[in-house]
Chain A
Amino acid sequence: MNTVTGTGALTRLALRRDRTMIAIWVYALTAFVAFTVYGFKKLYPTTAGLNEFIAAAAHNPALLSLYGPLYGNSLGSLTAWRDAALGGIGTGLMSIFIVIRHTRADEETGRLELVGSAVVGRHAALVSALLVACGANIGIGVLMAAAAIALGLPAAGSIAMAAGFAGCGLAFTGVAAVTAQLAQTARSARGLAIGLLGVAFLLRAVGDSAGPGGPRWLSWLSPMGWAELDRAFGPIRWWVLALPVVTVAALATGAALLAVRRDYDAGLLPQRPGPARGAASLGTPLALAWRLQRASLLAWTSGALVWGIVIGSAAKGIGGLLGSEQVKRIMIKLGGQTGLTDAYIAAILSFSGLIAAGYAISVVLRLRSEETSERADPVLATSVSRTAWGLSHLSVAAAGTILILCVAGLGTGLGLTLRSVGGGSVIASNVLAGLAQAPAALVIAGLAALLYGLAPRASAAGSWTVLGVVVLMLFLGATIQLSHWVLDVSPFTHLPKLPGGAVSAVPFVWLSLIAVALAAAGLAGLRRRDIG
């Protein structure tokens, strides 16, 4: 028996477990690109309009940091440019989820121990997870290229673009394989890999927005940068596509070597003994929820600060482009308002609102994982009521979301100030603009709470699907000119564009009321149903 015996059987098992999840990822990302092509076709029916927009965008550091550089002036290059960030994040996240799920998560729950006692080699689980994740990325590449070609884009460019996105997924397949060896829990292995995905985004954002003489080389360090540096629809650099392949091969080898150096269910990061007594404060459900969530909140808050500073400092120079009516119109379509710096920050902050909604969902769903892991039972068997238990996690979700958004706003304000276009009042207005996203994010969290209370088994899939739809609405809604009846479903549609827009308290009040009502209905459902 060698170290990969049984890989085939484990791969089939993984495909059987993930068949729905992988199909959803593959189709959603393909549809995302297809809708972008379709939308731009409708938005710029003439070459002149397209060229004007492209000429303006190619020199705008803010847009460059958000979406990357533009290569060429065709519908294809516009699509590749517009979808680069989200496409790379999408394939990266998918790969991380698949790899961790079949390696560290199975090891943590003990499933791998059961499987490992059969005729299965030491590396079989790792290799099968890598195969499944790579296969899913290749599937995305093939389908996406086919869809783009079918919509009339040049074949070579379509293939280069799709391969670029798939390549980002491949690179993060390798990253997740390594973090699965380093961390001892699936949660921290996943967190570490997603953190690195964020670093890859920021490296690309800083590199792409740098002027001549600036640190442009930073983009070359990021797998997300490679997805654009192959210049799909421009003069294609095919060799760039070898970078992710080399990366995944190197990281997978590294992971296999690390796996030999550690014990089953152990990580490589050290474990230390802890206190023999619980702190005096650790005696309420809220203290428990806070203790369970504080590490992730700290990570999210620091991420939001760095993200804000980077994005804010990239906003310099936008004012010079104000002359172009076309750019102005586009920025407004992307979610902005008058005043391009403000519009840019507003667009970024509404993106931050979506990210914060993702955080809020993950906190709310912690209730569900506490329940399914049977850790909720001993707590609910004490004098803690279900309402108090549920409310404790929901409070952390609400407070954490508000904190993350304020810090993201603080970051953009600081970033602007660093580039000497800000100051105290700018920082304050950016913090408020970040805070203004909170009611919409909390509506999404309230929906997750409602699903958890009434349909716990569907709560995870349901909440993330809702967020996915809202994200697609924000990114594609204006481009494909969805009816406002459809767009109005998203809570984010109703927020004023801040900073810079006109402020009315009305949407904040009723969005907050909806969020509270949804959460209350969820808690009422939780009180009435069976636990477990």
Chain B
Amino acid sequence: MTAAIDIAGLRKSYGKTVALDGLDLTVTQGEVHGFLGPNGAGKTTTIRILLGLLRADGGTARLLGGDPWTEATGLHRRLAYVPGDVSLWPNFTGGEVIDLLGRLRGGLDAGRRSSLLERFELDPTIKARAYSKGNRQKVALIAALASDVELLLLDEPTAGLDPLMEASFRTCIEDERQRGRTVLLSSHILSEVEALCDRVTIIRLGRAVESGSLADLRHLTRTSISAELAGPPDGLDQLPGVHALDVEGNRVTCEVDTDKLDGLLRRLSAAGVRSLTSQPPTLEELFLRHYAGDGPAAGSPARDSGGVPA
């Protein structure tokens, strides 16, 4: 498998503000890759560099085997982009924008266009100035999804969609995966990434802090265990990797580092297990672990979606 996106040590600053500080990101062909981070982490800057709209200050970025800056127009035939904050020409109808963007990209599938209009319940005869944020987003999504491309770059594409439309969006991405397309999905909505993505990269202050499959990442965090035992447990507090231990008679609740789960379970079954519930770590916990109490990350001045050029 070759990489659809291969970024190493990418740097970009706006004046004194550092947006990307040595970012690494690899997206293999055919996968749906979650690009996760809070506002201002550098997600939009990364995508804009991949689109050749910005020039990186340092590091390398390869897109579909080409250079996103020098080979932009050729590469753009093979990808579609949905911005986070979709701004349309106010006196164009939604249908006109979809056709225009599709044609500028090199053509779009009429059948898909109409089925997507139906699926997203969008009226294409309305002028863009009358569309809500969610409807503007649908216009960009339909234009992207109806074109015949290898790679989709989606920058927080569901920010304005209601839950029903978000479900439609998930179905669409599932279809794209079946077709073998590569998707880079930037988001800060964890459930969406958890539901859709094969692999995830978490970005913070312009740097990738974690990258891997959800299963890989879960190993890095803790599982919650709650058990009712036959007798009082023994020496649990001595075990490595056990946290927040609470023993009340025969009932035990605790959190355990996922790679130390085995040791804990042996000790519990030694005491005789009557009932056991274990909750795998959610992405939320992963995320919070990287950002909780992280002042600069939350209020980072670096640019992200919705930001105005510095």
Q: Which A residues are within 8 Å of any B CB, using their own CB?
A: 184-185, 271, 273-279, 282-285, 288, 291-292, 372-375, 377-385, 528-532
Contact A275–B89 (Cβ < 8 Å): no
Give 13 A-B contacts (CB < 8 Å), ordered by A residue: A274-B96, A275-B93, A278-B100, A282-B100, A374-B83, A375-B87, A377-B81, A378-B140, A379-B104, A382-B106, A383-B76, A529-B55, A531-B54
B233 at the interface (CB under 8 A from A): no
B53 at the interface (CB under 8 A from A): yes
Interface majority SS (helix, strand, loop, mixed), chain B: mixed
Shortest distance from the beta carbon of B108 to any chain A beta carbon, whole Å? 10
Which interface residue of B53, B85, B125 has the most chain A CB atoms within 10 A?
Answer: B53
B180 at the interface (CB under 8 A from A): no
Residues 41 to 62 of chain B near chain A (Cβ within 8 Å): 48, 51-55
Please name all residues of chain B whose beta carbon is closer than 8 Å to the beta carbon of A291 when the two chains form the complex.
92
Contact A278–B95 (Cβ < 8 Å): yes
Please name all residues of chain B whose beta carbon is closer than 8 Å to the beta carbon of A380 when the two chains form the complex.
51-53, 72
Given contacts A382-B76, A384-B73, A530-B309, 9 further A-B contacts (CB under 8 A): A185-B129, A274-B126, A278-B103, A283-B103, A377-B48, A380-B52, A382-B101, A382-B106, A383-B76
Bound together, the chains give a CA A380 to CA B53 distance in angstroms of: 8
Shortest distance from the beta carbon of B84 to any chain A beta carbon, whole Å? 9
Please name all residues of chain B whose beta carbon is closer than 8 Å to the beta carbon of A377 when the two chains form the complex.
48, 51, 53, 81, 83
Find A275's partner among B52, B85, B96, B309 (CB 8 Å cutoff).
Answer: B96
Contact A372–B309 (Cβ < 8 Å): yes
Contacts A273-B127, A277-B96, A373-B87: A385 and B73 contacting too (C-beta < 8 A)? yes
Shortest distance from the beta carbon of A388 to any chain B beta carbon, whole Å? 8
B74 at the interface (CB under 8 A from A): yes
User: CB-CB contacts of B64-94 with A at 8 A, as 1s and 0s?
Assistant: 0000000011101101110101111110110
Please name all residues of chain A whose beta carbon is closer than 8 Å to the beta carbon of B127 when the two chains form the complex.
271, 273-274
B124 at the interface (CB under 8 A from A): yes
Find B81's partner among A282, A285, A381, A531 (CB 8 Å cutoff).
Answer: A381
Find A378's partner among B54, B83, B125, B129 (CB 8 Å cutoff).
Answer: B83
Bound together, the chains give a CA A377 to CA B307 distance in angstroms of: 14
Cβ-Cβ contact count across A and B, 8 Å cutoff: 115
Please name all residues of chain A whose beta carbon is closer than 8 Å to the beta carbon of B105 when the two chains form the complex.
382-383
Please name all residues of chain B whose beta carbon is closer than 8 Å to the beta carbon of A381 when the two chains form the complex.
51, 53, 76, 79-81, 153
Bound together, the chains give a CA A375 to CA B97 distance in angstroms of: 11
Shortest distance from the beta carbon of B195 to any chain A beta carbon, whole Å? 26
Q: 7 closest pairs, A vs B, by CB?
A: A278-B99, A283-B103, A382-B104, A274-B93, A381-B81, A276-B95, A278-B96
Find B124's partner among A184, A276, A285 (CB 8 Å cutoff).
Answer: A276
Residue of B nearest to A532 (CB): B309
Shortest distance from the beta carbon of B68 to any chain A beta carbon, whole Å? 11
Contacts A378-B81, A530-B54: A273 and B126 contacting too (C-beta < 8 A)? yes
Please name all residues of chain B whose beta carbon is closer than 8 Å to the beta carbon of A275 when the two chains form the complex.
93, 95-96, 125
Shortest distance from the beta carbon of B101 to any chain A beta carbon, whole Å? 6
Shortest distance from the beta carbon of A123 to any chain B beta carbon, whole Å? 24
B208 at the interface (CB under 8 A from A): no
Bound together, the chains give a CA A476 to CA B125 distance in angstroms of: 52
Residue of A nearest to B133 (CB): A110
Interface majority SS (helix, strand, loop, mixed), chain A: loop
Please name all residues of chain A whose beta carbon is closer than 8 Å to the beta carbon of B54 when the two chains form the complex.
530-532
Contact A273–B125 (Cβ < 8 Å): yes
Tell me the count of chain B residues lying within 8 A, CB to CB, of chain A.
Answer: 45
Contacts A372-B309, A383-B74: A184 and B100 contacting too (C-beta < 8 A)? no
B36 at the interface (CB under 8 A from A): no
B239 at the interface (CB under 8 A from A): no
Please name all residues of chain B whose beta carbon is closer than 8 Å to the beta carbon of A531 when the two chains form the complex.
48, 53-54
Residues 163 to 198 of chain B near chain A (Cβ within 8 Å): none
Please name all residues of chain A whose beta carbon is closer than 8 Å to the beta carbon of B48 when the two chains form the complex.
377, 531-532
Bound together, the chains give a CA A378 to CA B257 distance in angstroms of: 44
Please name all residues of chain B whose beta carbon is closer than 8 Å to the beta carbon of A373 when the two chains form the complex.
87
Contacts A285-B104, A383-B73: A273 and B93 contacting too (C-beta < 8 A)? yes
Residue of A nearest to B14 (CB): A530
Contacts A381-B81, A532-B54: A276 and B125 contacting too (C-beta < 8 A)? yes
B130 at the interface (CB under 8 A from A): yes
Which interface residue of A274, A377, A378 has the most chain B CB atoms within 10 A?
Answer: A378
Contacts A185-B129, A273-B125: A383 and B77 contacting too (C-beta < 8 A)? yes
User: CB-CB contacts of B136-150 with A at 8 A, as 1s and 0s?
Assistant: 000010010000000
Contacts A530-B55, A531-B54: A282 and B90 contacting too (C-beta < 8 A)? no
B98 at the interface (CB under 8 A from A): yes
Contact A283–B104 (Cβ < 8 Å): yes
Contact B98–A278 (Cβ < 8 Å): yes
Bound together, the chains give a CA A47 to CA B99 distance in angstroms of: 70
Shortest distance from the beta carbon of A370 to any chain B beta carbon, whole Å? 9
Contacts A278-B98, A283-B104: A530 and B93 contacting too (C-beta < 8 A)? no
Please name all residues of chain B whose beta carbon is closer than 8 Å to the beta carbon of A532 when the two chains form the complex.
48, 53-54, 309
Contact B76–A283 (Cβ < 8 Å): no
Please name all residues of chain B whose beta carbon is closer than 8 Å to the beta carbon of A372 when the two chains form the complex.
308-309
Shortest distance from the beta carbon of A530 to any chain B beta carbon, whole Å? 5
Contact B124–A384 (Cβ < 8 Å): no
Please name all residues of chain B whose beta carbon is closer than 8 Å to the beta carbon of A279 when the two chains form the complex.
96
Contact A274–B125 (Cβ < 8 Å): yes
Please name all residues of chain A whose beta carbon is closer than 8 Å to the beta carbon of B85 when the two chains form the complex.
374
Please name all residues of chain B whose beta carbon is closer than 8 Å to the beta carbon of A385 when the two chains form the complex.
72-73
User: CB-CB contacts of B117-129 with A at 8 A, as 1s and 0s?
Assistant: 0000000111101
Contact B101–A379 (Cβ < 8 Å): yes
Shortest distance from the beta carbon of A386 to any chain B beta carbon, whole Å? 8
Contact B99–A283 (Cβ < 8 Å): yes
Residue of B nearest to A457 (CB): B309
Bound together, the chains give a CA A284 to CA B105 distance in angstroms of: 10
Bound together, the chains give a CA A285 to CA B83 distance in angstroms of: 19
Residue of A nearest to B103 (CB): A283
Shortest distance from the beta carbon of A482 to any chain B beta carbon, whole Å? 39
Shortest distance from the beta carbon of B234 to any chain A beta carbon, whole Å? 61
Please name all residues of chain B whose beta carbon is closer than 8 Å to the beta carbon of A274 when the two chains form the complex.
92-93, 95-96, 125-127
Shortest distance from the beta carbon of A297 to any chain B beta carbon, whole Å? 15
Contact A185–B90 (Cβ < 8 Å): yes
Residue of A nearest to B85 (CB): A374
Please name all residues of chain A whose beta carbon is closer than 8 Å to the beta carbon of B97 when the two chains form the complex.
278
Residue of B nearest to A283 (CB): B103
Which interface residue of B86, B93, B103, B105 has the most chain A CB atoms within 10 A?
Answer: B103
Please name all residues of chain A whose beta carbon is closer than 8 Å to the beta carbon of B74 when the two chains form the complex.
383
Contact A184–B129 (Cβ < 8 Å): yes
Bound together, the chains give a CA A381 to CA B68 distance in angstroms of: 11
Which interface residue of B100, B140, B309 has the most chain A CB atoms within 10 A?
Answer: B100
Please name all residues of chain B whose beta carbon is closer than 8 Å to the beta carbon of A278 when the two chains form the complex.
95-100, 103
Residue of B nearest to A380 (CB): B53
Shortest distance from the beta carbon of B51 to any chain A beta carbon, whole Å? 5
Bound together, the chains give a CA A323 to CA B231 distance in angstroms of: 125
